[in-house]
Copies of this chain bind each other. A is one copy, B any other.
Amino acid sequence: MPDAVIHSVSTCDARFPLPPGAGTDSLHTNSEYSFAVTCLSGENGLRGTGIALTLGKGNKLVCEAIEMLANPLAGTAIEELMADFGRVSRKLADDPSLRWLGPHKGVVHLALASITNACFDFWAKSRGKPLWKLLLDLAPDEVVRLLDLSYLDEVLSERDAVELLQGQLASRNTRMSILNTGYPGYDTSVGWMGYDDQKVRDLTRRAMDSGFKAFKLKVGSDDQDHDLRRAAMLRECIGDSGALMFDANQRWSLPVAVRMSRELALYKPTWIEEPTHPDDIHGHALLAREIVPIKIAAGEHIPNRVVFKNFFQASAIHYVQADCTRLAGVSEFLTVSLLAQKFGLPVVPHVGDMGQLHQHLVLFNRIGLGQEPLFLEHISHLRDHFVFPATVADGCYKTPQQPGASCDLKLSFAGNP
């Protein structure tokens, strides 16, 4: 196979204003989903697209950080790059003049997410495979060479990681059926905070009719009675058999989180999501002990593998909502997935990519890593903007077949604001 070369790197600040109410929660009152896009161009129209999610004007900063970080990629051959991508990723993450801005968090790390995702897309397209298949076709040591495992030595050495992957090879065939059945989805778009009761009920019924069995409701408003009433309403709407998740988007102090979680327990949530500040590992651990048997989910604002490691070590979360547009892209997502597997925790991605890229990654996690196939978040607001939008049928993501990571956007990269 010829080694495709990245000829140039460009960025695009892509903004997508949403309809009123869509995308709103206890902290985010605007509704402008934004992608900081990395575009890698090769020969014969080969293009790698990587995205990182932000929520509006700050997107510009991530695009500029991409430009600062990504230039060394121009002129490199993709196979050579990916043969040792863990080292490449660490080097980019430790750029001496940008590292101070994190390290490994915030604007620069989001930029690295976008860049990394573009590399994986370029690579998969150059091999003519959808990303999930590319990853599954790699040998365990090839997978591990994609990863930066630094600062994880005491819990996940390179050897641990290879052994973990090798240990799943023999049983892979028993898990391949997911490619045919599709990966179950859950619907977040029914329960935005800015939607009135009637809209929530209508959307939920429509989602149930189309096969969804799991739904999320935003809580954490200033009016806690309102939150409880809506929780009751949605539980009634979906019946006892549906799965229901409550998402506070970090709004609660620890004492409020304890009280509200206990009150919401009445409505049998699968999890309480982002109950308090995402940096408060000790707070999450305390909460988890206080509200047994209620489960906690978090991850969309956990910036890197080291913080995830600490969450796992503290038994502070039950569902790992890693997001490859928050972490340093596909490779750090895989690292966190390996860590989660080691700690016996399920990975249920937050979809900053609207599920486009994560639909590949959950298939790898299921087949290659032996993760349980719980469900993948589904948010449909941007589907018309993707060249190959993720397709959900009967509540399940259909396995993507096109080469790449499904992140190409329809907009013209040149002409975007």
Tell me the A residues contacting B by CB distance below 8 Å.
Answer: 27-30, 32, 53-58, 60-62, 64-65, 68, 94, 96-110, 150-151, 153-154, 250, 253-255, 276-283, 286, 301, 303-304, 306-307, 309-310, 313-314
A–B complex contacts, Cβ < 8 Å, 17 sampled: A30-B97, A55-B96, A58-B65, A60-B64, A61-B64, A61-B101, A61-B107, A65-B107, A101-B110, A102-B105, A102-B106, A150-B253, A154-B253, A154-B255, A279-B306, A279-B307, A282-B314
Kindly report which residue of chain B lies nearest to residue A65, judged by CB atoms.
Answer: B61
**Of B68, B279, B306, B307, which one neighbours A58 at CB under 8 angstroms?**
B68
In the A-B complex, list the 5 residue pairs whose CB atoms are closest, starting with the nearest.
A106-B106, A56-B97, A107-B107, A151-B277, A279-B306
Closest B residue to A55 by beta carbon equals B100
Contact of B101 with A54 in the complex, beta carbons under 8 Å: yes
Distance between Cα atoms of A55 and B98 in the complex (Å): 7
Shortest C-beta distance, A258 to chain B (Å), equals: 10
- Enumerate chain B residues within 8 angstroms of A108, measured Cβ to Cβ: 58, 61, 106-107
- A9 to B149 alpha-carbon distance, docked (Å): 43
CA separation between A30 and B94, bound complex, in Å?
Answer: 12
* A71 smallest CB distance to B (angstroms): 11
- B280 near A151 with CB under 8 A, answer yes
**B253 with A153: CB separation less than 8 A:** yes
Extra pairs beyond A56-B96, A56-B98, A58-B108 (8, CB < 8 Å): A55-B97, A55-B99, A57-B98, A104-B277, A105-B106, A106-B106, A106-B107, A279-B304
A53 and B97 CA atoms in complex are apart in Å by: 12
Structural contact, B306 and A103, CB atoms closer than 8 A: no
Question: Within the assembled complex, what's the spacing in Å between the Cα atoms of A229 and B169?
Answer: 48
Cβ distance A46 to chain B, nearest Cβ, rounded Å: 30
* Cα separation A411 to B286 with both chains bound (whole Å): 50
Contacts of A65 in B (CB 8 A): 58, 61, 107
A54 to B254, CA, bound (A): 33
